[in-house]
Amino acid sequence: MKLALRWHVFLIGFLLGTSGAFAADKPQTSAPSTQLAQRPGHAGIASANTLATEAGLEVLAKGGNAFDAAVAVASTLSVVEPESSGIGGGFMATMYIAADKRSVFIDARETAPAAVNTKDYLNPDGTPNRDTALKGPLSAGIPGEPAGLAWLAKHYGKLPLTASLAPAIRTARDGFKPDNRLLGSINEEQKNLERWPASAGKFLPGGKAPAAGQVWSDPDQAHTLELLAKYGEPGFYSGETAQKLVSAVHEAGGNWTLKDLAAYRVKERAPLTVDYRGYKIITAPPPSSGGVAIAEILNILSGFDLSKLDQVHRVHLVIEAMRRAFRDHNDYLGDPDFVKMPLNMLLSPYYADGLRQTILPDKATPSSMLAPSNSEDPGQHTTHFSIIDADGNMVAMTCTVNYVLGSTFVAKGTGVLLNDEMDDFALVANKPNVYGLLGSKANAPEPGKRMLSSMSPSIVIGADRTAVIGSPGGSTIITQVLEGILAFIDGGDAHQVVAYKRFHHQYMPDRVMVEPGAFDAATSSALTQMGHTLKEREPWGFMNAVIWDRRTNKLDAASDPRREDGLGKVQ
């Protein structure tokens, strides 16, 4: 029924053509260029942690390329920023291979174990059990990050895993001083960490979070990383590590088997591309919903000349485009290996034309008039880093264990903190997950299936400037990356792109989340008059971007000024 309605909108758009309520935006005359004529000759990395950025630069200095550096950054983040990502979680990466002039998407997303049972996520009275969905081993999908890192080293890197994992192993073994974000996350989750002895053993030495300035090490994780470095993927998914993971999960009431681990496979997928104002945006396909939503929003916006509008009308149109794209996110998207999705429709300019016709120039459309989805909580979890190397190879990688400190469950003897990614499935149909996102059958859990993600690692290629961009932040990832792309296309440098003040609408709840300072009083008042409900929230996101200006052949790397520990550096 809903599909039929969407087709209706699609057809109206087709029949009416592209005449929006505003003058159509004319694409720039310069064609989007995917031909990178020159190499930068130097490299840039921006990540959420200084030690991780330095690990990447160290591996580049040893002769590695962007893909080796990505292995070093991601594995070091597993050690120094475990609240956000790690080898117990997964990642998605959009990459550009300069020598082949080709882009590829690496899907190292977690999968549901074969014994997944939706009853485990219900209370006896049939209401959703948020604890099993978010804490402990039942909340954890089969990790994808170790396989993904081994894949990058084997297929794209120049160095062996022993070299690209060396900085992470050294940092785990010798220790480091945790930053305030990690210490805050440990304090916040202390009660949950105390539920499992290995979690308390790792994160609460002596019964409490490490003190500020104290050197903290994790010899178990160093050993697990060493096995991965020595044996590659089998060093994690079979043998000693696999045995330890499965027995720890079983002891705590989980349902993983050795077969689940042995069956895990990285997927290479064609990235999703969209043209907007002369730029080619290369971004995440399903099982991320991010790229589809960004493409839908840009397709809608391409029918307007935003540059000719005042801020109020420009913001109004962006909000209305966000509202419409998020509605589709909740209805259709899931793991492409399991679900047939109407992507041709969702990504069609004609479909966007139809949606554009439904936008009123001076009035908000109540989401209830469109159809159903819920609360936003950007939280401090997930992480993104961006890399461009001297040859022009690029990596946009977003890594996650899902919520803060994932499941808070560490598998004894491994140092591996398991994710709580099962909550990204629609475990209970039409009940909100931790980000307030609703889901349907398309994202229902099934054995071996990947849960839907919002991760949107993206590369934006213009005639003379290129950006590698992404951010954490649950459902807000999508709108952050969108706004970053718009800021870049408007001419912003890396520091401006990551600092750009944010707003977010996700269809339901029907309100605009606004970062303090995003709008002046007159703009807020005009948007409210139009029918938008604005809700100010603490700043969110942790964007990391690298920009290559091919006119000057300069790289520019920047980490989000909202957080203190990131580092964007060019060498």
Q: Which residues are catalytic?
A: 382
Q: Choose among 103, 232, 111: nearest CA to 161.
A: 232
Choose which of 69, 106, 168, 455 interacts with ligand GLY (CB under 6 A). Answer: 455
Nearer Cβ to ligand GLY, position 357 or 454?
Answer: 454
Give the one residue of 454, 471, 523, 524 binding ligand GLY; rule: CB under 6 A: 454
Q: Segment contacting ligand GLY (CB under 6 A): 56-64, 121-129, 304-312, 453-461?
A: 453-461
Give SS3 for 355.
helix
Considering only residues 262-291, where is the footprint of ligand GLY by CB under 6 A?
Answer: none
**277 vs 504 by CB, closer to ligand GLY:** 504
Site string for ligand GLY, 340-379 (x = CB under 6 A): ----------------------------------------
Q: Decide whether 477 or 518 has the Cβ nearer to ligand GLY.
A: 477
Helix axes 349-357, 2-16, angle to 10 degrees: 90
Token pair for 143: 């990790």
Rounded Cα gap, residues 125 and 189, in angstroms: 27
**Nearer to ligand GLY among residue 348 and residue 382 (C-beta):** 382
Q: Which stretch binds ligand GLY (CB under 6 A): 320-328, 448-456, 490-498, 541-549?
A: 448-456
Write down the least CB distance from residue 107 to ligand GLY, Å. 11
Tell me the one-letter amino acid at 419.
N
Figure out which of the listed residues 255, 357, 400, 433 binds ligand GLY, where binding follows CB under 6 A: 400
Q: Are β-strands 512-514 and 567-570 bridged in parallel, bridged antiparallel, or unpaired? A: unpaired
Query: Minimum distance from CB of 228 to ligand GLY (Å)?
Result: 22
Question: Of these, 171, 382, 506, 523, which contacts ligand GLY (CB under 6 A)?
Answer: 382
The three-class DSSP label of residue 483 is helix
- Shortest CB 400 distance to ligand GLY, Å: 5
Q: Sign of dihedral through CA atoms 522, 527, 530, 536?
A: negative
* Beta carbon of residue 473, minimum distance to ligand GLY (angstroms, whole number): 9
What are the residues facing 374 on neighbouring strands?
none
How would you class 102 by CB atoms within 10 Å of its CB: exposed for 0-12, middle for 13-18, buried for 19 or more? exposed
453 binds ligand GLY (CB under 6 A): yes
65 vs 389: CA distance, rounded Å: 6
Rounded Cα distance between 233 and 149, Å, is 8
Least distance in angstroms from the C-beta of 345 to ligand GLY: 23
Output the smallest distance, CB 482 to ligand GLY, in A: 15
Nearer to ligand GLY among residue 374 and residue 402 (C-beta): 402
Among the listed ranges 115-123, 150-158, 206-214, 450-458, the one in contact with ligand GLY (CB under 6 A) is: 450-458
* Shorter beta-carbon distance to ligand GLY: residue 68 or 420: 420
Count of other CB atoms within 10 angstroms of residue 188: 15
Burial 448-463 (b: 16+ CB within 10 A, else e): bbbbbbbbbbbbbbbb
- The residue among 386 and 476 lying less far from ligand GLY, judged by its C-beta, is 476
- Count of C-beta atoms within a 10 Å radius of residue 562: 16
Q: How far is the CB of 457 from ligand GLY (least distance, A)?
A: 11
- Which of 352, 437 has the CB closer to ligand GLY? 437
**Given 3-state DSSP classes, what are the helix, strand and coil percentages for the chain, each rounded to the nearest 5?**
40, 15, 45
**Rounded Cα gap, residues 75 and 87, in angstroms:** 7
Instruction: Note whether 132 and 121 are within 8 A (CB).
Output: yes
- Ranked by CB distance to ligand GLY, the top (closest) residue is 453
- What is the closest distance, in whole angstroms, from the C-beta atom of residue 55 to ligand GLY in the complex? 23
Q: What is the closest distance, in whole angstroms, from the C-beta atom of residue 557 to ligand GLY in the complex?
A: 24
Stretch that binds ligand GLY, among 372-380, 406-414, 449-457, 562-570 (CB under 6 A): 449-457
Nearer to ligand GLY, 144 or 474 (CB): 474
Question: Quick one: which segment of 240-248, 252-260, 452-460, 552-560 binds ligand GLY (CB under 6 A)?
Answer: 452-460
Which of the residues 456 through 515 are near ligand GLY (CB under 6 A)?
474
Q: Which of 221, 255, 402, 458 binds ligand GLY (CB under 6 A)?
A: 402
* Sequence-separated (6 or more) residues with CB below 8 Å from residue 505: 319, 322, 323, 326, 479, 511, 512, 513
**What does the alpha-carbon distance between residue 218 and residue 227 come to, in Å, rounded to a whole number?**
15
Determine the Cα–Cα distance for residues 208 and 227; give it in Å rounded to an integer. 29
Mark out the alpha helices in 449-543 (DSSP H runs).
476-489, 494-499, 521-529
Choices 98-106, 447-455, 507-515, 552-560; region in contact with ligand GLY by CB under 6 A: 447-455
Is beta strand 534-536 parallel, antiparallel or unpaired with respect to 512-514? Answer: parallel
Total binding residues toward ligand GLY, as defined by CB under 6 A? 9
Where do contacts with ligand GLY occur on this chain (CB under 6 A)? 382, 400, 402, 421, 424, 453-455, 474
